[in-house]
């Protein structure tokens, strides 16, 4: 339909790794491919003061090559609103100084419990990454936008995109939630429209 089409095309680049869909449940072993098997397992998780996140997601983020995009109002905020600094420190561990991905964006909502100094930790980590890897072809950028509720209050579920893979979470991104919840992975972020959707939400939340 483009009347100016030159007819010359570059081939599309393949995705980094073949995507494989799977579903994972949060549990104190760092994730399971099965629902909790008994009430004891459910209760152990429920009463944990620090529910263990999904190892699979942690590993995916730590090994990300291009991007880590998170869209979740409660990503930085633990259940019950206590110890947000601990949650943030856990996430910062994932964004280690050897991280290769350069495009880290967290789209979340504002919480009174999370002050400016806590958010500033992400900027400090960004500087550490760039200082530690001085020969990076692209500087690492970590952006946290807390306007999701105010500027784009249309999202119910929670999503994350790691490189070209879309993750879908029934509760907090990363599997931090204490109640029974699951996440699925292995969806194409391009084909599903997740990348375009995230950019739409991000742009809306950027508007003044």
Partner 1 sequence: MGQVQRKMTMRWIRERNAELETFQSNHDFMTKEDFLGFMAQVEHDSPQLIASLAEELMAMGEPLEIESLQAFARQRVGLSFDADMLLTAACAWKLGRVPQLETWLKIRKIARNSWQIEHWLSEAMSAHAQTDADARSAFVNLAKQLFKALESGDLKSESKHKNEAREGAWSYWQGTKYQLEELWWGLRGSDFMNYEEEMRIFGLLSEIALEEFQQLIASSANPFLVSSALLSAGMGAFSPRFAQWEACIRAAPLAFAPDGSWRGSILLPLLLVHARDELHEPGRRVPIYGADEAEVAALTAQVNELVQAVVDVLATREDASAIFARWSTWLMRQQVLRQREKSFSDIRSHGYVDNTLLEAIGRSMQGRPLSLNTPEDAAPWEAWCYRCALSAFAHDGFIAPPSFEEFASQWQLTPESWHELGGRGLLERAELHIPRDDMPGLSANLLVFPLASKDSFASGWRQLWDGAYYLREVLEFGFLNAGAKDYSDRVDASRLLLLLGCMGLACFDQAAARLEASRKLLTEEMISLHKGLSQAAMEVLHLDDTLNRDKWQTFLQHLALRRVYWDGSYITEHPVALFDGQHEPTIRDYLSYFQADPDDLVAFLYACMLNGSDSFALREELRGASINLRACVDILKRLHELREHRYPIDYRAIKAIEPLMDCSKP
Which positions touch partner 1 (CB under 8 A)?
Answer: 1-6, 8-11, 13-17, 63, 65, 100, 102-103, 136-139, 141, 203
Residue closer to partner 1 by CB (options 72, 163) is 163
Residue closer to partner 1 by CB (options 40, 137) is 137
Residue closer to partner 1 by CB (options 17, 48) is 17
Query: Positive or negative CA dihedral for 22, 26, 30, 88?
Result: positive
Residue closer to partner 1 by CB (options 20, 47) is 20
Distance CA 153, CA 73 (A): 10
Q: How far is CA 141 from the centre of its chain?
A: 14
In the structure encoding, which two tokens stand for residue 58, read together? 């942690």
CB of 27: closest distance to partner 1 in angstroms?
25
CB of 34: closest distance to partner 1 in angstroms?
26
- Neighbouring CB atoms inside 10 A of 117's CB total 8
Largest CA distance in the chain: 65
CB of 131: closest distance to partner 1 in angstroms?
12
Closest by CA position to 18, among listed 159, 163, 161: 163
Residue closer to partner 1 by CB (options 6, 39) is 6
CB of 45: closest distance to partner 1 in angstroms?
30
Q: Which residues contact 177 (CB under 8 A, 6 or more apart)?
A: 26, 51, 79, 171
CB of 67: closest distance to partner 1 in angstroms?
9
- Neighbouring CB atoms inside 10 A of 166's CB total 25
CB of 78: closest distance to partner 1 in angstroms?
28
Residue closer to partner 1 by CB (options 86, 127) is 127
Cβ–Cβ < 8 Å for 36, 42: yes
């Amino acid at each position: 339909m483009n009347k100016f089409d030159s007819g010359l095309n570059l081939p599309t680049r393949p995705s980094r790794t073949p995507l494989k869909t799977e579903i994972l449940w949060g549990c104190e072993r760092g994730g399971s491919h099965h629902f909790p098997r008994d009430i004891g397992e459910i209760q152990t998780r429920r009463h944990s003061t620090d529910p263990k996140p999904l190892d699979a997601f942690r590993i995916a983020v730590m090994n990300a090559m291009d991007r880590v995009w998170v869209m979740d109002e409660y990503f930085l905020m633990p259940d019950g609103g206590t110890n947000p600094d601990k949650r943030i420190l856990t996430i910062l561990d994932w964004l280690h100084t050897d991280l290769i991905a350069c495009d880290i964006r967290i789209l979340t909502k504002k919480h009174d419990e999370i002050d400016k100094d806590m958010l500033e930790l992400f900027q400090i980590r960004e500087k550490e990454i760039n200082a530690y890897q001085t020969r990076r072809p692209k500087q690492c950028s970590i952006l946290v936008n807390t306007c999701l509720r105010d500027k784009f209050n249309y999202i119910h579920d929670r999503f994350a995109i790691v490189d070209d893979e879309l993750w879908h979470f029934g509760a907090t991104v990363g599997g931090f939630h204490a109640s029974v919840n699951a996440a699925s992975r292995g969806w194409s972020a391009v084909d599903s429209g997740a990348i375009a959707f995230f950019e739409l939400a991000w742009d809306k939340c950027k508007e003044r």
